[in-house]
A and B are shown apart, each in its own frame.
Chain A
Protein backbone atom coordinates (compact mmCIF):
# COMPACT_ATOMS: atom_id res chain seq x y z
CA UNK A 1 0.00 0.00 0.00
CA UNK A 2 2.72 2.42 1.02
CA UNK A 3 4.83 1.56 -2.05
CA UNK A 4 1.93 2.32 -4.34
CA UNK A 5 1.49 5.65 -2.55
CA UNK A 6 5.11 6.65 -3.21
CA UNK A 7 5.11 5.52 -6.81
CA UNK A 8 4.33 8.25 -9.35
CA UNK A 9 0.88 8.23 -10.78
CA UNK A 10 0.62 6.15 -13.92
CA UNK A 11 -0.72 9.17 -15.73
CA UNK A 12 2.41 11.15 -14.97
CA UNK A 13 4.69 8.43 -16.27
CA UNK A 14 4.42 10.15 -19.65
CA UNK A 15 6.65 12.95 -18.33
CA UNK A 16 9.56 10.55 -18.27
CA UNK A 17 9.08 9.93 -21.96
CA UNK A 18 9.74 13.53 -22.97
CA UNK A 19 12.74 13.96 -25.25
CA UNK A 20 15.07 16.20 -23.23
CA UNK A 21 17.13 17.11 -26.27
CA UNK A 22 14.14 18.70 -27.97
CA UNK A 23 12.63 20.01 -24.73
CA UNK A 24 15.27 22.75 -24.39
CA UNK A 25 13.53 25.99 -25.60
CA UNK A 26 16.16 27.06 -28.12
CA UNK A 27 16.37 23.60 -29.67
CA UNK A 28 12.59 23.33 -29.67
CA UNK A 29 12.42 26.58 -31.66
CA UNK A 30 14.97 25.29 -34.16
CA UNK A 31 13.15 21.99 -34.51
CA UNK A 32 9.77 23.71 -34.89
CA UNK A 33 11.06 25.99 -37.66
CA UNK A 34 12.76 23.17 -39.50
CA UNK A 35 9.66 21.01 -39.12
CA UNK A 36 7.51 23.43 -41.13
CA UNK A 37 10.01 24.11 -43.90
CA UNK A 38 12.05 21.89 -46.18
CA UNK A 39 15.36 23.54 -45.36
CA UNK A 40 16.70 26.84 -44.13
CA UNK A 41 20.10 28.43 -43.88
CA UNK A 42 21.89 29.48 -40.71
CA UNK A 43 21.16 33.18 -41.16
CA UNK A 44 17.43 32.65 -41.63
CA UNK A 45 17.19 30.56 -38.47
CA UNK A 46 19.22 33.13 -36.56
CA UNK A 47 16.73 35.85 -37.54
CA UNK A 48 13.68 33.71 -36.84
CA UNK A 49 14.75 32.31 -33.50
CA UNK A 50 16.57 35.39 -32.22
CA UNK A 51 19.51 33.24 -31.14
CA UNK A 52 23.06 34.48 -31.37
CA UNK A 53 25.54 32.93 -33.79
CA UNK A 54 27.29 30.98 -31.04
CA UNK A 55 24.09 29.79 -29.41
CA UNK A 56 22.57 28.58 -32.64
CA UNK A 57 25.81 26.91 -33.63
CA UNK A 58 26.02 25.07 -30.30
CA UNK A 59 22.41 23.82 -30.41
CA UNK A 60 22.78 22.93 -34.06
CA UNK A 61 25.74 20.69 -33.23
CA UNK A 62 23.78 18.88 -30.52
CA UNK A 63 20.83 18.27 -32.82
CA UNK A 64 23.15 17.13 -35.58
CA UNK A 65 24.95 14.74 -33.23
CA UNK A 66 21.59 13.21 -32.31
CA UNK A 67 20.82 12.75 -35.99
CA UNK A 68 17.81 15.05 -35.82
CA UNK A 69 19.07 17.56 -38.35
CA UNK A 70 21.29 17.40 -41.37
CA UNK A 71 23.82 20.20 -41.80
CA UNK A 72 25.24 20.91 -45.22
CA UNK A 73 28.21 23.26 -45.28
CA UNK A 74 29.35 24.69 -48.55
CA UNK A 75 31.35 27.61 -49.84
CA UNK A 76 29.60 30.17 -51.96
CA UNK A 77 31.91 32.75 -53.49
CA UNK A 78 34.52 31.87 -50.87
CA UNK A 79 32.05 32.44 -48.02
CA UNK A 80 30.74 29.62 -45.85
CA UNK A 81 27.08 28.87 -46.29
CA UNK A 82 25.27 26.46 -43.96
CA UNK A 83 21.97 24.81 -44.82
CA UNK A 84 19.95 22.93 -42.21
CA UNK A 85 17.30 20.31 -42.76
CA UNK A 86 15.30 18.06 -40.46
CA UNK A 87 16.08 14.36 -41.00
CA UNK A 88 13.40 11.68 -41.01
CA UNK A 89 14.58 10.69 -37.56
CA UNK A 90 14.25 14.29 -36.40
CA UNK A 91 10.80 14.62 -37.91
CA UNK A 92 9.65 11.46 -36.17
CA UNK A 93 11.21 12.59 -32.89
CA UNK A 94 9.50 15.95 -33.10
CA UNK A 95 6.12 14.34 -33.73
CA UNK A 96 6.68 11.99 -30.79
CA UNK A 97 7.69 14.97 -28.63
CA UNK A 98 4.47 16.78 -29.52
CA UNK A 99 2.44 13.72 -28.66
CA UNK A 100 4.24 13.34 -25.32
CA UNK A 101 3.75 16.98 -24.44
CA UNK A 102 0.08 16.89 -25.32
CA UNK A 103 -0.29 13.79 -23.18
CA UNK A 104 1.54 15.40 -20.25
CA UNK A 105 -0.43 18.65 -20.45
CA UNK A 106 -3.60 16.65 -20.69
CA UNK A 107 -2.65 14.65 -17.60
CA UNK A 108 -1.86 17.84 -15.70
CA UNK A 109 -5.20 19.36 -16.52
CA UNK A 110 -7.15 20.46 -13.42
CA UNK A 111 -10.50 19.66 -15.00
Chain B
Protein backbone atom coordinates (compact mmCIF):
# COMPACT_ATOMS: atom_id res chain seq x y z
CA UNK B 1 0.00 0.00 0.00
CA UNK B 2 1.31 3.40 -0.90
CA UNK B 3 2.23 5.62 2.02
CA UNK B 4 0.71 8.62 0.32
CA UNK B 5 -2.78 9.27 -0.93
CA UNK B 6 -2.69 10.84 -4.34
CA UNK B 7 -5.83 12.92 -4.69
CA UNK B 8 -5.29 13.40 -8.39
CA UNK B 9 -5.30 9.63 -8.85
CA UNK B 10 -8.49 9.33 -6.84
CA UNK B 11 -10.11 11.96 -9.03
CA UNK B 12 -8.91 10.24 -12.20
CA UNK B 13 -10.17 6.87 -11.00
CA UNK B 14 -13.56 8.35 -10.14
CA UNK B 15 -13.71 9.93 -13.59
CA UNK B 16 -12.66 6.71 -15.37
CA UNK B 17 -15.23 4.72 -13.42
CA UNK B 18 -17.97 7.19 -14.26
CA UNK B 19 -17.09 6.94 -17.97
CA UNK B 20 -16.69 3.17 -18.19
CA UNK B 21 -20.09 2.56 -19.79
CA UNK B 22 -18.98 3.04 -23.42
CA UNK B 23 -21.89 5.37 -24.22
CA UNK B 24 -19.57 8.25 -25.09
CA UNK B 25 -17.66 6.02 -27.52
CA UNK B 26 -20.94 4.91 -29.14
CA UNK B 27 -22.03 8.53 -29.54
CA UNK B 28 -18.65 9.61 -30.92
CA UNK B 29 -18.79 6.71 -33.39
CA UNK B 30 -22.28 7.71 -34.50
CA UNK B 31 -21.21 11.34 -34.97
CA UNK B 32 -18.19 10.34 -37.03
CA UNK B 33 -20.25 7.97 -39.17
CA UNK B 34 -22.84 10.71 -39.69
CA UNK B 35 -20.02 13.06 -40.62
CA UNK B 36 -18.88 10.52 -43.19
CA UNK B 37 -22.38 10.44 -44.65
CA UNK B 38 -22.39 14.22 -44.72
CA UNK B 39 -19.97 14.12 -47.65
CA UNK B 40 -22.28 11.96 -49.73
CA UNK B 41 -25.54 13.64 -48.97
CA UNK B 42 -26.88 17.17 -48.75
CA UNK B 43 -29.11 16.10 -45.90
CA UNK B 44 -26.96 17.21 -43.01
CA UNK B 45 -29.78 17.87 -40.57
CA UNK B 46 -29.26 14.49 -38.92
CA UNK B 47 -25.59 15.24 -38.38
CA UNK B 48 -26.29 18.68 -36.89
CA UNK B 49 -29.06 17.31 -34.65
CA UNK B 50 -26.80 14.49 -33.47
CA UNK B 51 -24.08 16.94 -32.47
CA UNK B 52 -26.51 19.34 -30.81
CA UNK B 53 -28.29 16.67 -28.79
CA UNK B 54 -25.47 14.17 -28.24
CA UNK B 55 -24.96 15.26 -24.63
CA UNK B 56 -28.64 14.97 -23.83
CA UNK B 57 -28.96 11.60 -25.53
CA UNK B 58 -26.01 10.17 -23.56
CA UNK B 59 -27.39 11.65 -20.34
CA UNK B 60 -30.81 10.13 -21.04
CA UNK B 61 -29.35 6.64 -21.38
CA UNK B 62 -27.08 7.14 -18.38
CA UNK B 63 -30.03 8.08 -16.18
CA UNK B 64 -31.90 4.99 -17.27
CA UNK B 65 -29.19 2.36 -17.35
CA UNK B 66 -25.93 3.59 -15.83
CA UNK B 67 -26.63 5.62 -12.69
CA UNK B 68 -28.86 2.94 -11.14
CA UNK B 69 -25.91 0.55 -11.51
CA UNK B 70 -22.82 2.53 -10.50
CA UNK B 71 -24.26 5.71 -9.05
CA UNK B 72 -23.97 9.32 -9.99
CA UNK B 73 -21.04 11.68 -9.54
CA UNK B 74 -20.68 15.33 -10.41
CA UNK B 75 -17.18 16.65 -10.94
CA UNK B 76 -16.17 20.09 -9.81
CA UNK B 77 -14.91 21.50 -13.08
CA UNK B 78 -13.95 19.99 -16.34
CA UNK B 79 -10.65 21.17 -17.62
CA UNK B 80 -11.54 22.86 -20.94
CA UNK B 81 -7.88 22.95 -21.92
CA UNK B 82 -7.54 19.18 -21.60
CA UNK B 83 -10.77 18.56 -23.55
CA UNK B 84 -9.67 20.92 -26.33
CA UNK B 85 -6.24 19.27 -26.48
CA UNK B 86 -7.87 15.86 -26.77
CA UNK B 87 -10.16 16.96 -29.60
CA UNK B 88 -7.29 18.63 -31.47
CA UNK B 89 -5.05 15.58 -31.07
CA UNK B 90 -7.82 13.33 -32.36
CA UNK B 91 -8.43 15.55 -35.38
CA UNK B 92 -4.70 15.69 -36.03
CA UNK B 93 -4.48 11.89 -35.96
CA UNK B 94 -7.35 11.65 -38.44
CA UNK B 95 -5.71 14.14 -40.80
CA UNK B 96 -2.39 12.26 -40.60
CA UNK B 97 -4.12 8.97 -41.46
CA UNK B 98 -6.01 10.52 -44.37
CA UNK B 99 -2.85 12.23 -45.64
CA UNK B 100 -0.86 8.98 -45.41
CA UNK B 101 -3.50 7.02 -47.31
CA UNK B 102 -3.78 9.65 -50.01
CA UNK B 103 0.01 9.79 -50.30
CA UNK B 104 0.12 6.04 -50.71
CA UNK B 105 -2.79 5.60 -53.09
CA UNK B 106 -3.37 8.97 -54.78
CA UNK B 107 -2.35 12.51 -55.48
CA UNK B 108 -2.09 14.75 -52.39
CA UNK B 109 -2.87 17.91 -54.37
CA UNK B 110 -5.99 16.43 -55.87
CA UNK B 111 -8.97 17.80 -53.92
CA UNK B 112 -11.27 15.07 -55.18
CA UNK B 113 -9.01 12.51 -53.50
CA UNK B 114 -9.60 14.19 -50.14
CA UNK B 115 -13.33 14.20 -50.75
CA UNK B 116 -13.13 10.56 -51.78
CA UNK B 117 -11.06 9.33 -48.85
CA UNK B 118 -12.19 11.49 -45.94
CA UNK B 119 -15.71 10.06 -45.66
CA UNK B 120 -14.38 6.53 -45.93
CA UNK B 121 -11.86 7.05 -43.15
CA UNK B 122 -14.39 8.75 -40.93
CA UNK B 123 -17.19 6.39 -41.77
CA UNK B 124 -15.53 3.01 -41.75
CA UNK B 125 -12.37 3.21 -39.71
CA UNK B 126 -12.95 5.87 -37.10
CA UNK B 127 -16.69 5.96 -36.60
CA UNK B 128 -17.29 2.26 -37.03
CA UNK B 129 -14.35 1.31 -34.86
CA UNK B 130 -15.38 3.68 -32.08
CA UNK B 131 -19.00 2.58 -32.31
CA UNK B 132 -18.08 -1.11 -32.06
CA UNK B 133 -15.66 -0.45 -29.19
CA UNK B 134 -18.42 1.43 -27.41
CA UNK B 135 -20.87 -1.43 -27.92
CA UNK B 136 -18.40 -3.97 -26.53
CA UNK B 137 -17.60 -1.76 -23.53
CA UNK B 138 -21.30 -1.15 -22.92
CA UNK B 139 -22.11 -4.87 -23.09
CA UNK B 140 -19.29 -5.71 -20.71
CA UNK B 141 -20.38 -2.92 -18.40
CA UNK B 142 -23.97 -4.20 -18.28
CA UNK B 143 -22.86 -7.71 -17.40
CA UNK B 144 -20.28 -6.47 -14.86
CA UNK B 145 -22.77 -4.28 -13.04
CA UNK B 146 -26.13 -6.01 -12.87
CA UNK B 147 -28.93 -3.93 -11.48
CA UNK B 148 -29.28 -4.28 -7.72
CA UNK B 149 -32.74 -5.48 -6.66
CA UNK B 150 -33.48 -2.25 -4.82
CA UNK B 151 -32.46 -0.22 -7.85
CA UNK B 152 -34.59 -2.04 -10.41
CA UNK B 153 -37.25 0.60 -10.71
CA UNK B 154 -35.03 3.54 -10.04
CA UNK B 155 -34.56 6.10 -12.77
CA UNK B 156 -32.91 9.38 -11.93
CA UNK B 157 -34.71 12.31 -13.47
Contact = CB atoms under 8 A, between A and B. Distances in A.
Interface stretch (A7-15, A44-52, A61-69): A44-52
B157 A77 contact: yes
11 contacts: A28-B5, A36-B7, A37-B73, A37-B75, A38-B74, A40-B74, A41-B71, A43-B70, A47-B17, A76-B157, A79-B151
A89 interface: no
Interface string B1-39: 001010110110110011000000000000000000000
Interface in A16-74: 28, 32-33, 35-48
Interface of B: 3, 5, 7-8, 10-11, 13-14, 17-18, 67-68, 70-76, 150-151, 153-157
B7 A77 contact: no
A39 B73 contact: yes
Given A48-B14, A76-B157, 15 more contacts: A32-B7, A32-B10, A37-B74, A41-B72, A41-B73, A43-B67, A43-B151, A44-B14, A45-B71, A77-B153, A77-B154, A79-B153, A81-B154, A81-B156, A105-B3
Q: Which 9 pairs show the lowest CB-CB distances between chains A and B? A: A44-B71, A43-B71, A36-B11, A79-B154, A40-B73, A38-B74, A38-B76, A41-B72, A41-B71
B154 A44 contact: no
Interface in A84-101: none
Contact of B154 (A32, A47, A76): A76
Contacts of B157: 76-77
B77 to A, nearest CB: 8
Among B7, B71, B76, B153, max chain A CB count under 10 A is at B71
A28 B10 CA distance: 12
